[in-house]
Amino acid sequence: MEPRFDLMSNELGAKIAKRVYNVALAIQQSPLPQSTQDLVMLRASQINGCGFCVDYHTKDAAAAGESAVRVNLVAAWREATVFTDAERAALALTEEGTRLAGSHPGVSDETWARAREHYDDDQIVALVALIAMINANNRLNVIVRNPGGSYEPGMFAGMAN
């Protein structure tokens, strides 16, 4: 599969990517646990069929010490025993926040309440922003058909500012 367009080789595309990366950096530096961030980004990317992002977030999670069992079970988290109640609440919010179109009713009050049981105000802001941003990233990469397989952990570290 060949990409349709290289956003990073375009001046405007690179400028936008840098801004998106800085938002991601603010979220990464938030009090939301990094392991939760990794699981959320992976799950949204799976739902959206973004090969580049699944590759990216699988490799980053592994590089951060996440177990292969947990990474491999993210797609079936409801039927797995390896996630905490807080992580399960974040994954439920991710799924409902990602599946906003069509017949899906959006984020339910029950899912929101479960997330609020586990996350304080700063963490919930980070979680909501993370879900929104990973969905935006998924769409950018799917639209331009950016393929998975070439990501190396840390390869975007120099994009800040």
Contacts 24+ apart (CB under 8 A), 115-123: 115/89, 115/90, 117/89, 118/85, 118/86, 118/89, 118/90, 119/32, 119/86, 119/89, 119/90, 120/31, 122/30, 122/31, 122/32, 123/30, 123/31, 123/32
- The answer as to whether 116 is a domain residue is yes
The parent domain of residue 123 ranges over 33-152
- The answer as to whether 128 is a domain residue is yes
Do 41 and 91 form a contact (C-beta atoms < 8 A)?
no
- The answer as to whether 53 is a domain residue is yes
Number of domains in the chain: 1
Record the pTM: 0.93
Do 100 and 106 form a contact (C-beta atoms < 8 A)?
yes
- The answer as to whether 157 is a domain residue is no
- The answer as to whether 137 is a domain residue is yes
pLDDT tens for the 161 residues of the chain, in order: 788 999 889 999 999 989 999 999 999 999 999 999 999 999 999 999 999 999 999 999 999 999 999 999 999 999 999 999 999 999 999 999 999 887 678 899 999 999 999 999 999 999 999 999 999 999 999 999 999 998 999 887 776 66
Q: What is the CATH number of the domain that holds 59?
A: 1.20.1290.10
Q: How far apart are CA 3 and CA 129, in angstroms?
A: 27
- The answer as to whether 19 is a domain residue is no
Nearest to 145 by CA among 53, 75, 9: 53
- The answer as to whether 16 is a domain residue is no
- The answer as to whether 7 is a domain residue is no
| Element counts in the chain: helices (H) and strands (E) | 7, 0
